[in-house]
Structure 1
Amino acid sequence: MAGNGSTAKLHHYVPQGYLRGFANEKGRVKVVPLDPARKAFISSVKNVAAQTHFHTIDDPEEPDGFETALSGIEGEAIGIIGKFRRNEFPPSEEDRWTLSYYMALQSVRGPDTRKTLEHLRAQIVRFEIGAAGRVNVGKWIKENCGFDPSPEQESRVWADATQPDGPPISFSNLAHIRHMLDMAEELTSHFAGRQWSLVRFERRALVTSDAPVSLIRDPQDDGWDGVGFMTAWGITFPLTRELGLLMNDPTRMLEGLEPDDSRVQEIRAAVLRGEVDGMQAGTTAMEKLFNENLAHSAREYIYCHPEDGKYVPDDLPEPELINVRAAGGLFDAEFDGEPWFGK
């Protein structure tokens, strides 16, 4: 692949091929900002869910190498979704793993993942420097940055580090890509190992967003409990405006069985073969389950077919690109310059 002038500038974190499943025949979608001060508008799928050089790396030969690799993964996933549209379901085990990896990537590839990492790192650095005290700033810089700072540099680092949001920290594209791949590899089994239900809608429609994978809390959990890929009652992923994939909690099939029971592995193998998967007709309740959870998971934008605006929930969250914040307590502390743990 040639670099320099042929490098693609606009990189999508929600694939164009996927977004076309929610677009009209001209490839246009309705964009609904979560910011209530902004109005919805119509745009081409080429121009949404993308940032300039989001995946470009410092490689003169293949600056867009990762973008090219993503295109291959996305193409395979779109092909599998095409099979689902033709009622070729459940998928083969190979297709199941391929689509699961695609969904895992989609869970962690957006700008919210990068912003969250930067936020968490900034809070850690803030605590490290603040708790060590003003007198130890130079030592911290020497150990972490590899040079002896001037008094002016020490003062600047202290001021930046101890502000409420911590110091300004930016992860490189390469660091983001490495983290994304590590996370996707860990999450893939949490998609593949669930019971899949393919939901087909004829009278209603699904919408999608810049974060289309949604985790559904167990209705029996307390409202303040968090929800993750291991604990989610269900995971939803809108495939197209007519098709949705609901992935149910697999532990319900293992209730009453000990981990070393041979039936556990038999059930897991049956799940991966698609033997417990099924198809169902989309209802109003199911449409709301998908679209309301989708809206709650969105970060900045919801996307839908230009004629499907009525299916976008009215109660939208505020835009938020940081999906996990550092816990309070120590991270909320104010620093007066004195070391917390002696000199």
Structure 2
Amino acid sequence: MGNGNTAKLHHYVPQGYLRGFAGTQDRVTAVPLDRSRASFTTSVKNVAAQTHFHTVPGANEPDGFEKMLSVLEGEAVGIIRRMEAGEFPVSEEARMSLSYYLALQAVRGPDTRKTIERLQAKMVRVEVGAGGRANVTRWIKKNLGFDATEEQAQRIWDEATQPGGPPITISTVGHIKHMIDTAEHLAKYLVTRPWLLVRFDRRSLITCDAPVSLIRDSSDVDPWEGVGFATAWGISVPITRKLGLLMSDPMVMIERFEAGDPMIQEIRAAVVGGRLDRTERGTTAMERLFNEHTAESAREYIYCHPDDVRFVPDELHEPTLINMDAGGFMDAEFDGEPWFGDGALSNAEEDAGTPRIAGGA
């Protein structure tokens, strides 16, 4: 049971981090990607948050994960403040801690949750549709655990095979597990890159609701393909309005590792130990690199110091909470006939928690 002191408003971008972009009284300006809406200035406690976003209903401590995040965020913000004060390179321990914090930041927002739900919905759509209409009751029994009436079977068939798939909601526990597992995997792609800390004087950086940005290699011949943490030329993060962190090309390590270079462990030690890190004075070009990628990474809002609105790029994309999608056979049309002669069904992946499908028992 809860102890009566459960936090209700959960931030998916930490307040301590946002204060690095705030003006007096911890106020930031929020710029909606939906340009039909006006920008506004408010306290950092009012932005990048949702009510009970991390609450686990029925747990002994429903906001236990939120409290754990607060400890991790406090450590990371402390490292950022020391970097701001001139400490760089940071210790190997601090590098590990900050890398995990940034990896977690990349997957903790509503966009990750919505994307998981979208992909799971499409998976269920293909699974049900490929099995054929005659096999829906069998699929319901196997996956939802009840014997469906004809009316229920028809409703689930209609919902499952509609464009985009059925309405699916993953559990908070499913999202939390995905966050922890994915952040542990992604952190290694941050810690093993050379770090460039850029200090700005006259120009400033903006941030957003998804501030970890992947930078594509400018020589990429297939710009339509996605870019990931392992393949990105760089990963940029606005640390404060006057401090940007650019984690640059990891290919030196990757190529030497693949070539079996006997010096790879020494090279890794040099990278992780910060011996390849450097500091650079911010330029107009570097400000634009950070701010344009931050704006591109944003999902719904850009945040900045009230005096820095002029650094928000003029061209902004439409808001979206989907950061990945699947097409091809996932969007196939179904005519009710099974794709396989025996109507065999496959199991949907369960790597993000058990989905709840509207129309069930």
Tell me the TM-score normalised to structure 2 length: 0.92
**1:280 equivalent in structure 2:** 280
5+ long unaligned stretches in structure 2: 343-361
**2:347 equivalent in structure 1:** none
How big is the alpha-carbon RMSD for the aligned residues of Structure 1 and Structure 2? 1.3
Matched, 1:266 2:266: yes
| Counterpart secondary structure, 1:42 | strand
CA–CA distance in structure 2, aligned partners of residues 305 and 86 of structure 1: 19
| Counterpart secondary structure, 2:4 | helix
**1:202 equivalent in structure 2:** 201
Instruction: State the Cα distance separating 1:204 from its structure 2 match.
Output: 0.2
CA–CA distance in structure 1, aligned partners of residues 272 and 288 of structure 2: 28
| Counterpart secondary structure, 1:128 | helix
Instruction: State the Cα distance separating 1:327 from its structure 2 match.
Output: 2.2
**1:32 equivalent in structure 2:** 31
1:165-184 equivalences in 2 (<5 Å): 165-184=164-183
| Counterpart secondary structure, 1:8 | coil
**Deviation string, structure 1 residues 46-96 (Cα, Å, up to 9, x no partner):** 010000100000244200000000000000000000110111100000000
**Deviation string, structure 1 residues 11-42 (Cα, Å, up to 9, x no partner):** 00000000000001211100000012111111
5+ long unaligned stretches in structure 1: none
Change beyond 3 A, Cα 1:177–1:256: closer
Conserved 8 A contact 2:253-2:268: no
1:295 aligned partner, one-letter code: A
**2:112 equivalent in structure 1:** 113
CA–CA distance in structure 1, aligned partners of residues 271 and 340 of structure 2: 53
List structure 1 runs of 4+ shifted beyond 2 angstroms. 58-61, 252-260
**2:93 equivalent in structure 1:** 94
Give the count of matched residue pairs: 341
Instruction: State the Cα distance separating 1:249 from its structure 2 match.
Output: 1.0
**2:143 equivalent in structure 1:** 144
CA–CA distance in structure 2, aligned partners of residues 154 and 40 of structure 1: 47
**1:186 equivalent in structure 2:** 185
1:117 aligned partner, one-letter code: I
Instruction: State the Cα distance separating 1:259 from its structure 2 match.
Output: 3.7
| Counterpart secondary structure, 2:119 | helix
CA–CA distance in structure 2, aligned partners of residues 60 and 263 of structure 1: 49
| Counterpart secondary structure, 2:245 | strand
1:194 aligned partner, one-letter code: R
Tell me the TM-score normalised to structure 1 length: 0.97
**1:313 equivalent in structure 2:** 313
**2:130 equivalent in structure 1:** 131
**2:68 equivalent in structure 1:** 69
CA–CA distance in structure 2, aligned partners of residues 170 and 258 of structure 1: 41
**1:9 equivalent in structure 2:** 8
**1:327 equivalent in structure 2:** 327
CA–CA distance in structure 1, aligned partners of residues 96 and 232 of structure 2: 19
Conserved 8 A contact 1:237-1:246: yes
1:163 aligned partner, one-letter code: Q
**1:289 equivalent in structure 2:** 289
Report sequence identity in percent.
Answer: 63
1:26 aligned partner, one-letter code: Q
Conserved 8 A contact 1:22-1:29: yes
